[in-house]
């Protein structure tokens, strides 16, 4: 029997591969924020029902939820995927940029999920979090904090409601996210007095990650597997880097900070 999925962020990267996998045999409500993708989404399969959602705007989240409710009375799995990366120095970053980060990566996911909960009978919630949730990376603290908050809020939702909530925490995955992050953070990248080298390293690394990261299908395959499990764990990492980030995050904070400072110094001094 066909199942019904709601997936955000289906126009690119991880979300796109999930849409392609699930829409073969199931109904998928596929979130997009740019009209130019509407026909691409429709062409994946007749099972795809695209819905507009701008995760920065709560009115848009409400409209998206109302639209989905007008089309179905049952959802089997909600997969919260959409996301972006806000980087910058805590000394100078515009706090409104951090608000935006939380709106897109955290609050809108909870808001949409809450509105759809009455339809989620015996279903699952799968969140695409990140190894950033372990909170160990400077210069991208807004992103780390938004993912940590996402995990905390949804873990609590799972305990309180009894709904199965799963956090998937990928390491570096080869998707367009990295190039988009460079564009999105132009202001921070150019406003980084005393940290130009670090930013230069971050940008060069982001460019490399877009192609050298882990194959996006590894994330897709894990999520398809989790969706099929009766009793999945609450949290999964994807990739050796995510496994390692989890491990070192358990060190005492001062030890961890020393390791991170040393690591950044070594990387930056290797730059020409
Ligand atoms: N790539 C990695 O290394 C990595 C690692 C760990 C976790 N993740 C997480 O995986 C998730 C998917 O990322 P990805 O790597 O697949 O990146 P991606 O290719 O950039 O996909 C992100 C998706 O989210 C959508 N999106 C972004 N901002 C939005 C907004 N304001 N409203 C509605 N939709 C929005 C994008 O729409 P557009 O197509 O219009 O941009 C796109 O469909 C994100 O939550 C990310 O944090 C990624």
Per run of 10 residues, the mean pLDDT along the chain (length 272 residues) is 97 98 98 98 98 98 98 98 97 96 98 98 96 96 98 98 98 98 92 88 94 98 98 98 97 97 89 70
Domain region containing 250? 4-269
**CA–CA dist 32, 7 (Å, integer):** 9
pLDDT for 191 equals 85
Regarding the beta carbon of 241 and ligand 1, being less than 6 Å apart is answered no
H-type alpha helices, the chain: 13-22, 38-44, 58-71, 95-102, 108-116, 141-161, 177-184, 186-190, 196-212, 216-228, 240-248, 253-269
Residue minimizing CA distance to atom 45 of ligand 1: 83
Kindly report the CATH number assigned to the domain that includes residue 72.
3.40.50.720
Q: How far is the CA of 211 from the CAs of 13, 44, 199, 217, in angstroms? A: 12, 24, 19, 13
Number of compact structural domains in the chain? 1
> What pLDDT, on the 0 to 100 scale, is given for residue 270?
79
Cα maximum dimension of the chain: 59
Q: What is the pTM of this model?
A: 0.97
Residue 245 in contact with ligand 1 by CB distance below 6 A: no
User: Which of 55, 84, 140, 216 maximizes ligand 1 atoms within 8 Å of its Cβ, making it the mutation to test the pocket?
Assistant: 84
For 49, residues 6+ apart whose C-beta sits below 8 A from its C-beta are 27, 28, 29, 30, 71
Spatial distance between the Cα atoms of 110 and 100, rounded to a whole number of angstroms: 15
Residue 201 Cα to ligand 1 midpoint, Å, equals 22
Residue 62 CB neighbour total at 10 angstroms: 14
Atom number, ligand 1, closest to the C-alpha of residue 103: 31
Residue 216 CB neighbours (<10 A): 20
Q: Is the CB of 267 under 6 A from ligand 1?
A: no
Closest residue by Cα to atom 30, ligand 1, is 55
Report d(CA 110, CA 154) in Å as an integer: 7
β-pairing, 77-80 with 48-52?
unpaired
CA of 138 to the centre of ligand 1 (A): 20
For ligand 1, atom 47, the nearest C-alpha belongs to 83
Cβ–ligand 1 distance for 84 under 6 Å, the answer yes
89: helix, coil or strand? coil
pLDDT of residue 272: 66
Q: Tokens for 113, please give them.
A: 């999920």
Nearest CA to ligand 1 atom 7: 130
Distance in Å, CA 10 to ligand 1 centroid? 8
Q: Which atom of ligand 1 is nearest to the CA of 129?
A: 7
Can you tell me whether residue 25 is helix, strand or coil? coil
Is any ligand 1 atom within 6 A of the Cβ of residue 15? yes
């Amino acid at each position: 029997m066909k199942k019904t999925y709601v997936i955000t962020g289906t126009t690119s990267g991880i979300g796109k591969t999930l849409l392609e996998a699930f829409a073969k045999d199931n109904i998928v409500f596929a979130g997009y924020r740019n009209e130019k993708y509407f026909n691409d989404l429709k062409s994946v399969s007749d099972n795809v029902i695209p819905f507009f959602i701008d995760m920065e705007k709560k009115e848009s989240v409400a409209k998206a939820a109302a639209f989905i409710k007008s089309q179905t009375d049952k959802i089997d799995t909600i997969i919260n995927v959409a996301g972006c990366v806000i980087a910058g120095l805590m000394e100078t970053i515009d706090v409104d940029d951090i608000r935006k980060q939380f709106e897109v990566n955290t609050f809108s996911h909870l808001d949409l999920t809450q509105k759809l909960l009455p339809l989620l009978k015996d279903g699952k919630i799968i969140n695409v979090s990140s190894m950033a949730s372990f909170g160990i990376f400077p210069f991208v603290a807004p992103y780390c904090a938004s993912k940590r908050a996402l995990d905390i809020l949804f873990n609590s939702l799972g305990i309180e409601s009894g709904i199965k909530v799963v956090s998937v925490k990928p390491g570096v995955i080869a998707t367009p996210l990295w190039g988009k992050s460079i564009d999105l953070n132009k202001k921070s990248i150019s406003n980084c007095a005393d940290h130009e080298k670090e930013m230069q390293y971050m940008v060069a690394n982001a460019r490399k990650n877009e192609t050298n990261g882990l194959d996006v299908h590894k994330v897709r395959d894990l999520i398809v597997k989790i969706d099929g499990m009766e009793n999945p764990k609450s949290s999964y990492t994807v990739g050796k880097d995510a496994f390692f980030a989890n491990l070192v995050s358990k060190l005492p904070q001062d030890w961890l900070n020393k390791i991170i400072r040393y690591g950044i110094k070594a990387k930056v001094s290797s730059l020409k």
